[in-house]
A = this chain, B = another copy of it.
């Protein structure tokens, strides 16, 4: 009979906390948005599902062996553990607090200790360690993205790189916003947190995850969710801003057909970019290095086997585990607090500012070019969010003038935005990392 009781006492429904319930609903919501509304499904389906898994009571899928051991606290193990951590009390929160702040070797011995009692890391926790904590997954995905990126339009019109630069203002403005909210006492962000939140404005998933994993892992879940959700919302967020900042005449400007770009230029560009990064900003070398590597695999034309694998099997495999790993950060205790709300608000502000600055920069360039060369609508594509943002520019262009196809012109700033936010990421890692 007691066995029946055990089952009931160990069941999810009996142990379901309100936080977990909410987070499961959030996970279902993400799945709904991904599947029905096509919100970046490649990432949000795994993230949403991982979020649900992470909040199954008693399963402890998102927790380390030590966290799980503390959850099911057997007295004598707790006292051994507090000994290892050099504590007097066995109070769960004290134990976890000490564990989180302990140095690497204490960390290791704590893990070894609880493993002897048969506790082990949750599945998602292991995925997170291998995929994200190691830094591997975002870099490998960035390699695949590089292998999928065509720099042709950028090479045909290099000055569109300035649009990619201007749009990054959203990132830094948001950093300022985050520290502002903190000094107003509304939030409590460190400068690292602020930097990680700002990168949402980069509109670049892997970059955001990479920076967050380095600067403030505890915010990674919220940051990744915000980044991908807002990218999906680009078609709603950008148009009003773009209309507000441009005149009909400007929106009607048609741009000259882009020149043909030679194969050798395509091959040399990733190498030039790599050397520039290496010489100016070593901290951005992992991110942009892998990006350039992927692009070289694509363009060099002699390793199509590798290029195809990088943009298919490999990136798909890594995406599955990256998504589930991000989901592991959606466990109630880590996700549910006011900071998440602050992050969501700041994230959308970042997007809006980035969009606005891109458009304004485009207007400026247009003026400098005599007022009829550059359609300001392509400026908004500088936030990256490839190719969504470029398609938005194209759509508004067609609205203003049915013969006005801007997409290829917008692809330039679009990929420039990827480089821009990777550079911004490097600067932040260097200054506050």
- Distance in angstroms between the alpha carbons of A314 and B313 in the assembled complex: 8
Contact of A49 among B34, B103, B293 (CB under 8 A): B293
CB distance from A344 to the nearest CB of B (A): 23
Chain B residues closer than 8 Å to A104, beta-carbon distance = 112-113, 115-116
Contact (Cβ within 8 A) B313 A313: yes
Per-residue 0/1 for A46-68: is the Cβ within 8 Å of any B Cβ (1 yes, 0 no)? 10010011001111010000000
Q: Does A326 contact B (CB under 8 A)?
A: no
What bracket does the count of chain A residues touching chain B fall in? 35 or more
Contact (Cβ within 8 A) A282 B7: no
Contact (Cβ within 8 A) A317 B319: no
Considering the complex, give the chain B residue whose CB is closest to the CB of A102: B116
Q: Does A278 contact B (CB under 8 A)?
A: yes
Contact (Cβ within 8 A) B116 A302: no
Contact (Cβ within 8 A) B123 A103: no
Chain B residues closer than 8 Å to A139, beta-carbon distance = 123
Q: Does A10 contact B (CB under 8 A)?
A: yes
Q: A302-B41, A317-B314 are in contact. Are A10 and B109 (CB under 8 A)?
A: no
Contact (Cβ within 8 A) A302 B112: no
Considering the complex, give the chain B residue whose CB is closest to the CB of A430: B10
Per-residue 0/1 for A289-329: is the Cβ within 8 Å of any B Cβ (1 yes, 0 no)? 11001001100111101101110111011011000100000
Q: A49-B296, A105-B109 are in contact. Are A61 and B286 (CB under 8 A)?
A: yes
Q: Does A13 contact B (CB under 8 A)?
A: yes
Q: Does A187 contact B (CB under 8 A)?
A: no
Contact (Cβ within 8 A) A280 B56: no
State the number of copies, please: 3
Contact (Cβ within 8 A) A13 B61: no
Interface residues of A in 7-50 (CB under 8 A from B): 7, 10-13, 16, 24, 28, 31, 34-35, 38, 41-42, 45-46, 49
Chain B residues closer than 8 Å to A31, beta-carbon distance = 271, 296, 300
- Distance in angstroms between the alpha carbons of A267 and B34 in the assembled complex: 12
Q: Does A283 contact B (CB under 8 A)?
A: yes
Contact (Cβ within 8 A) A282 B116: no
Considering the complex, give the chain B residue whose CB is closest to the CB of A58: B282
Considering the complex, give the chain B residue whose CB is closest to the CB of A108: B112
Considering the complex, give the chain B residue whose CB is closest to the CB of A41: B302
Interface residues of A in 273-290 (CB under 8 A from B): 274-275, 277-283, 285-286, 289-290
Considering the complex, give the chain B residue whose CB is closest to the CB of A320: B306
Chain B residues closer than 8 Å to A89, beta-carbon distance = none
Contact (Cβ within 8 A) B302 A271: no
Chain B residues closer than 8 Å to A324, beta-carbon distance = 293
- Distance in angstroms between the alpha carbons of A24 and B316 in the assembled complex: 32
Considering the complex, give the chain B residue whose CB is closest to the CB of A287: B123
Identify 30 residue pairs between A and B in the complex whose beta-carbon atoms are under 8 Å apart, listed by A's number. A11-B280, A11-B281, A12-B278, A12-B279, A28-B271, A31-B300, A35-B302, A42-B303, A42-B305, A45-B302, A46-B306, A49-B274, A49-B293, A52-B275, A53-B274, A53-B285, A53-B289, A56-B277, A56-B289, A57-B282, A61-B285, A61-B286, A103-B116, A104-B112, A108-B112, A126-B134, A143-B320, A308-B316, A309-B316, A309-B317
Interface of A toward B, CB cutoff 8 Å: 3, 7, 10-13, 16, 24, 28, 31, 34-35, 38, 41-42, 45-46, 49, 52-53, 56-59, 61, 103-105, 108-109, 112-113, 115-116, 123, 126, 134-136, 139, 143, 267, 271, 274-275, 277-283, 285-286, 289-290, 293, 296-297, 300-303, 305-306, 308-310, 312-314, 316-317, 319-320, 324, 430-431
The 8 closest A-B pairs by CB, nearest first: A309-B316, A59-B282, A41-B302, A56-B278, A104-B112, A313-B313, A59-B285, A58-B282
